[in-house]
Amino acid sequence: MKPVNMKKSSIFTLFLFLSLLLNSLSAKSVEEPLAPALYVFGDSLTDSGNNNGLPTQAKANYTPYGIDFVGGVTGRFTNGNTFTDIIALLLGLPFAPPYLGLSEAERSKIITGLNYASGSAGILPETGSSLGKNIPLGKQIKYFKRTVEKDLPQNFKEPQDLFKHLCESIFIVSIGGNDYLNNYLQPDYYNSSKHFTPERFARFLVHRLSHHLKTLYKLGARKIVVFDIGPIGCSPSITNAVDFNKACVEEVNQLVLEYNRLLPLLVKKLKLLPGSNFVQGLTFASGYDAHQNPSKYGFKYTNIPCCVVSNHGTTACLPDQPPCQDRDQYLFWDAFHPTQAANALIAVGCFNQSTICTPMNIQQLCRFKEANTASNKILVV
């Protein structure tokens, strides 16, 4: 697949490319996907409907969410595709369905990947609990453990076939923003900011993330893309609470930068695990640049959400209110989540360019073959 040159391509060109891709995949199934499966772990940036059945305020199963998505309202926290949806399309795979949206019988038949992400979830189990229940990262991985031990073996005759499937699949982990937005920055509900300095909190989060990623590895994951935290201080939920005309709240951005500075060290360390290949997704730098230089990326509006939100501090769209018409010109869909246009920039930049993911993009990661096949086995967890 020929790379898309984002410097020369407009948002219109990008969406024309994605539209043609979507149409071709709908008209004819892809005979040779670039990877056998896509497994997604994260929060509302990638949730495809897991929160629909949970008792929580963090829901997106109503209009105008999904107004541009082929399936309509699904529980995705954006107007159309999440960035992992677009990556699935580029891989030649179907969208990874939400784990909690499937019956046990359905789960046992799916071998193209699953989505375990949950809105308001974080690395820490208590994160987002003030909004209701979610699936924290540790529990998401427990669900994946059940997938590996119970569901997937029903589709493979030999254990080595299952190992091969897992080793060649792509795993995406995008989480951490809520550990700040719905934990550290909410002292009325959480004590983390009282017990941790920003530096110590960042180290604590990375330490917990390391534990979870090692568990994924032990369960057979080998090609893992780990995303940093985006510039949450530039989201309307933060900027409009301070000053509607303020570009970004840099004090908040500095908090997540403490975490982002430690993440490359963790990825470098994890790459020493035999047979593994960890890739880091750099969303902060690209997201910040898009906010500061919107016309460079085809955007016009960066400080206001596309949909109608409450003026009482909530990030979510008000139900059944018509959103903006020119959605591709907005960076933010609601007061926190990006539009499909912004998600496309992340997905394409990570898939076949060098602008988002390092030291290799996902297309290169798919081609990566580890010579040490002895390491390609599921370990006891």
DSSP string covering 26-90: HHS--SS-SSS-EEEEESTTT-SSGGGGSSBS----STTTTTTSTT--SS-SSSS--HHHHHHHH
Q: Are 55 and 132 in contact (CB under 8 A)?
A: yes
DSSP 378: P
Q: What does the alpha-carbon distance between residue 246 and residue 53 come to, in Å, rounded to a whole number?
A: 37
CB atoms inside a 10 Å sphere around CB 101: 18
Selection from 35, 68, 92 nearest residue 368 by Cα? 35
Selection from 84, 103, 102 nearest residue 93 by Cα? 84
Q: What does the alpha-carbon distance between residue 39 and residue 147 come to, in Å, rounded to a whole number?
A: 11
Q: What does the alpha-carbon distance between residue 331 and residue 304 come to, in Å, rounded to a whole number?
A: 8
Q: Catalytic residue among 43, 44, 228, 328, which? A: 44
Q: Indicate if 48 belongs to the active site.
A: no
User: Using CB atoms within 10 A of its CB, is residue 22 exposed (0-12), middle (13-18) or buried (19+)?
Assistant: middle
Q: What does the alpha-carbon distance between residue 220 and residue 315 come to, in Å, rounded to a whole number?
A: 37
Q: Are 115 and 96 in contact (CB under 8 A)?
A: yes
Q: What does the alpha-carbon distance between residue 164 and residue 287 come to, in Å, rounded to a whole number?
A: 35
Q: What does the alpha-carbon distance between residue 135 and residue 115 come to, in Å, rounded to a whole number?
A: 12
Q: Catalytic residue among 165, 212, 291, 337, which? A: 337
Q: Indicate if 44 belongs to the active site.
A: yes
Selection from 210, 166, 155, 172 nearest residue 376 by Cα? 166
Q: What does the alpha-carbon distance between residue 126 and residue 136 come to, in Å, rounded to a whole number?
A: 8
DSSP string covering 166-232: HHHSEEEEE--THHIIIIIT-TTT--HHHH--HHHHHHHHHHHHHHHHHHHHHTT--EEEEE----G
Strand partners, 223: 170, 277
Q: Indicate if 328 belongs to the active site.
A: no
Containing 16, the helix (H) or strand (E) segment is helix 11-27
Active site residue ranges: 44, 334, 337
